[in-house]
Amino acid sequence: MYDPNNWRSSIGQTRLQKRAILLRRIREFFWQQGVMEVDTQLLSLASISDPHIEVLTTRAKCQGQEQTYYLQTSPEFAMKRLLCSGSGDIYQLGKVFRAEEQSRRHGIEFTMLEWYRLGLDQWQLMAEIEALLVYICAGVFAGADVSNVDVSKNVSKNSALRCEYKSYAEAFQTYVGINPFTATLANLQQLAHKQTGFGLSESNRDTLLELLFSTLIEPKIGLVQPCFIHSYPASQGAFAKVNAYTQADDHTQTDSRDQPTAARFELYWRGMELANGYDELTDAAEQAKRMTQETQLRENAAKLARQTDHRLVAALEAGLPACSGVALGVDRLLMVLTDSQHIDEVVPFGADQV
């Protein structure tokens, strides 16, 4: 497996340059917006409680004591502690780690862009993401920067980038033909089973909805222009405020107007999830409650226990200013911009080459 001769980067000079342009454009954009760059530590003494994400750890001796450090899965908690410390608008561009299966779209180490904007709601933040994408595309596709720029098939120089917006309910109505808020469990089980062979024994609605989303919706949205999915069920809210959905642009789902939704959104482009954002939860008690629930889920599933990040809860108690935040997968964005099929094609060294 470890072949000493396999030392040369295989991504090629053009992609390496495009990667550099992408990183530079991101920094330029936030410089112009007056958002400060921060670089919180990759290693932390506490970690996330998410039941579905596994974390890489490392150990080191510190003044004679063995200490476990968690590699960050996203800089979210550290950045929120900075926000609570009074940092103002901040962004971070760097490496994050997840102990996951490596595949076409997943690496155990990848590059994430995460940022927080005080006083912006999720709609304003989505607009800023769109502006960032426009700014990046102008750079990555500009002939002045690199020779042989292969303009993406889908967003050409002539058709301006313009994001689409769909609510979670609308997406299900269009591509699955059901209302995700009111469909019965039996209905979801049948549908999932029919589409994937899995589902009849699953009693968790959200698991079934996520499977249907991945199978039937994800491959069909954002095929040309990037597509925002917003107004998730409250039960899939993670760290989002609940019931912030007030936009009147949801034509199809009058019923779901009364359903509790979370101020969470995702960005999809060319069949891939690129970003996940929230109008951030600022309520410390609610945050603590969700973390306890997640820890319980991990325990029930006999998953590895981790040190809960109580410092985040303490920081929220001191006060997180109203803000929205989003994390964006930079390698995946570069895949889209360079028409690459595998994440290994856009990083300096592929998974088996590091």
Site of interaction with other proteins (CB under 8 A)? 50, 52, 100-101, 103-104, 106, 196-198, 204, 206-207, 210-211, 213-215, 236, 238, 266, 273, 276, 301
Helix (H, G, I), strand (E, B) or coil at 328: strand
Indicate the residue among 101 and 258 with the shorter CB distance to other proteins. Answer: 101
Q: How far is the CB of 52 from other proteins (least distance, A)?
A: 6
Amino acid letter, residue 28: E
Q: Please state the three-class secondary structure of 123-162 as a single string.
A: HHHHHHHHHHHHHHHHHHCCCCCCCCCCCCCCCCCCCCCC
Indicate the residue among 84 and 343 with the shorter CB distance to other proteins. Answer: 343
Indicate the residue among 179 and 196 with the shorter CB distance to other proteins. Answer: 196
Whole-angstrom Cα distance, residue 232 to residue 222?
A: 17
Indicate the residue among 69 and 232 with the shorter CB distance to other proteins. Answer: 232
Q: How far is the CB of 28 from other proteins (least distance, A)?
A: 28
Q: How far is the CB of 141 from other proteins (least distance, A)?
A: 27
Q: Where are the beta strands (DSSP E) in 214-296?
A: 227-233, 261-269, 272-279
Indicate the residue among 88 and 219 with the shorter CB distance to other proteins. Answer: 219
Whole-angstrom Cα distance, residue 218 to residue 323?
A: 28
Residue that has been written with the tokens 């889908």 in this structure: 154
Q: How far is the CB of 130 from other proteins (least distance, A)?
A: 19
Residue 81 near residue 315, CB atoms below 8 Å: yes
Residue 65 near residue 12, CB atoms below 8 Å: no
Q: How far is the CB of 86 from other proteins (least distance, A)?
A: 29
